[in-house]
Amino acid sequence: MTRFKLLTALAAVALAPMLVATQTEAQTAAPAGDPQKGSQKVQMCQGCHGILGWRTAYPEVYHVPKIAGQHPAYIVAALKEYRAGQRKHPSMDAITATLSDQDMADLAAYYSQAPLQTAVK
């Protein structure tokens, strides 16, 4: 076996697990979101994210990010990070603990199609 063929064979063996993992991830991808169903699940979100210029005072004062018009993958990733404890906020921790992956996808689909609004200064 030539050196080239040996290196090619070793590379194929090394890359095979990555190919299998990629196929598995594709098969278990996040569910598709339904904006209509998402519109029926926004009650807990709109109290903070639906008010232009809103600031929360718990646990500290900060500006609440606007999520309307955001990319759905970003919204889902952020919600999952709150649920997993990778992001921390008491309200978001409690809310995301009750959301399924489908709920998150539906909310993301709803908010991603809404126009992005900014407060006028």
CA dihedral 67, 68, 74, 75 (to 10 degrees): 70
Task: Return the higher-pLDDT residue of 108 and 29.
Answer: 108
Banded pLDDT at 39 (limits 50, 70, 90): very high
Q: How far apart are CA 42 and CA 108, in angstroms?
A: 10
- What is the residue whose two structure tokens read 């194929």? 12
Q: Report the share of the chain in percent with pLDDT over 70.
A: 62
> What's the distance, Cα to Cα, between the start and end of the chain in Å?
72
Name the fold adopted by 32-113. Answer: Cytochrome Bc1 Complex; Chain D, domain 2 (1.10.760)
Prediction pTM value: 0.67
Residue with the bigger pLDDT between 63 and 19: it is 63
95, pLDDT greater than 80: yes
- Residue 56 is predicted with a pLDDT of 66
Question: Within 13 Å, how many C-alpha atoms sit on residue 2's CB side?
Answer: 3
- Looking at per-residue pLDDT, the higher value among 4 and 97 belongs to 97
- What's the whole-number average pLDDT of the chain? 79
Q: Is the pLDDT of residue 13 over 70?
A: no
Per-residue pLDDT at 118: 56
